[in-house]
């Protein structure tokens, strides 16, 4: 391990996000969001954080994430159900010409989790879900730009896994100051109509508004 480095506000923000908000970031996502696209500068600093045992670099097989500017659908209790087939079509069409390829990504280590408080264990448990997890990370980054209060109030699937043991969890919840859920967030990936409908029905049953990205 290298000599301890001075943690900048940016360093802290990145490690905390990987500990508390998302499972991983692609190196390109980090460079674009925190280094204005300067990949070499991003790589240099990330290596320093890895040398201090806070982050780990991994290679995953993933599809490039399409641009995510806004949710495909937003729904509140009492509103009509969306057109599940149309939503599924949008989910699937955005992956055209985006084949799976090796992707350099970064995760928090167990030491990072111990220092910043969270649920990471220094490994990606479900490597086959890397594309989905990178999509979730892209949603969080978009909210951080457009609605930073939502990014701060984001509670990840892993943090809340204990609340629904044995059940499918959404990717994230947005909570209020009392930690009550005010929005459900889901990255639709390449969902088909059946899966979109199942997600919708779960939120209907729980009377929770959602955004499906």
Q: By the 8 A CB rule, do 120 and 107 touch? A: yes
pLDDT 10s digit of each residue in the chain, 213 long?
555 778 999 999 999 999 999 999 999 999 999 999 999 999 999 999 999 999 999 999 999 999 999 999 999 999 999 999 999 999 999 999 999 999 999 999 999 998 888 765 556 777 779 999 999 999 999 999 999 999 999 999 887 765 666 567 899 999 999 999 999 999 999 999 999 999 999 999 999 999 999
Burial of 60 (0-12, 13-18, 19+ CB in 10 A): buried
Q: Which residue, among 64, 53, 54, has the nearest Cα to 26 in the 3D structure?
A: 64
**Distance between CA atoms of residues 202 and 170, nearest Å:** 10
- Are the C-beta atoms of 57 and 50 separated by less than 8 Å? yes
Q: Rg of the chain over CA atoms, in angstroms?
A: 17
Q: Supply the pLDDT for residue 168.
A: 74
User: In the chain, where are the structural domains located?
Assistant: 9-212
Smallest Cα–Cα separation from 156: which of 65, 56, 23? 23
Tell me the CB-side half-sphere exposure of residue 146, using CA atoms within 13 A: 10
Give the span between the Cα atoms of 107 and 144, in whole angstroms. 19
């Amino acid at each position: 391990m290298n000599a301890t480095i001075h943690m900048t506000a940016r360093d802290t923000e990145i490690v905390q996000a990987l500990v508390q908000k998302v499972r991983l970031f692609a190196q390109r996502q980090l460079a674009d969001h925190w280094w204005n696209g300067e990949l070499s500068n991003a790589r240099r600093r990330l290596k320093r954080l890895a040398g201090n045992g806070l982050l780990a670099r991994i290679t995953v097989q993933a599809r490039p994430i399409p641009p995510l500017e806004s949710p495909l659908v937003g729904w509140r209790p009492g509103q009509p159900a969306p057109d599940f087939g149309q939503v599924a079509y949008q989910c699937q069409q955005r992956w055209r010409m985006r084949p799976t390829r090796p992707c350099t990504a970064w995760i928090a280590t167990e030491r990072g989790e111990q220092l910043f408080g969270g649920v990471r264990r220094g490994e990606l448990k479900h490597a086959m879900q890397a594309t989905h997890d990178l999509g979730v990370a892209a949603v969080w980054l978009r909210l951080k730009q457009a609605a930073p209060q939502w990014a701060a109030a984001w509670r990840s699937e892993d943090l809340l896994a204990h609340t629904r043991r044995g059940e499918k969890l959404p990717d994230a919840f947005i909570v209020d100051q009392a930690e009550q859920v005010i929005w459900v967030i889901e990255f639709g990936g390449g969902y088909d109509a059946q899966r979109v409908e199942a997600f919708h029905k779960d939120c209907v049953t729980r009377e929770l508004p959602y955004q499906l990205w």
